[in-house]
Amino acid sequence: MSTAARTLSTAAAPNRLQTAVSTLANEALALVGALLQPGKVLADVDQMGKLLAAANALDERDPVRARLLRRRASAIGLN
């Protein structure tokens, strides 16, 4: 491995570590939030299921609208 390659990989390591720790912290916060509010999780899952069922029903007639409903359903868990 060249010196330049070692320098670049070493410089990127703290950034990768920081990103990994940040991601882990965000996941832990999401888990704690879900454990403290199980009703919200169930409501979100129910809403996602309804949107996906509506999207499946629209698939043949209106694929653009079905895609929009699927996108909205996938974003529910991210809020």
Side-chain-side CA neighbours of 79 within 13 Å: the count stands at: 11
Give residue limits of the domains in the chain.
1-36, 38-79
pLDDT at 14 (0 to 100): 73
Contact 51, 70 (CB under 8 A): yes
pLDDT at 15 (0 to 100): 87
Per-residue DSSP letter, 4: H
pLDDT at 69 (0 to 100): 94
Confidence check: pLDDT of 11 > 70:
no
pLDDT band per the 50, 70, 90 thresholds, residue 16:
confident
Lowest mean pLDDT among 3-7, 12-16, 73-77: 3-7
First vs last C-alpha separation in the chain: 43
pLDDT at 76 (0 to 100): 85
Helices (H) and strands (E) in the chain, counts: 3, 0
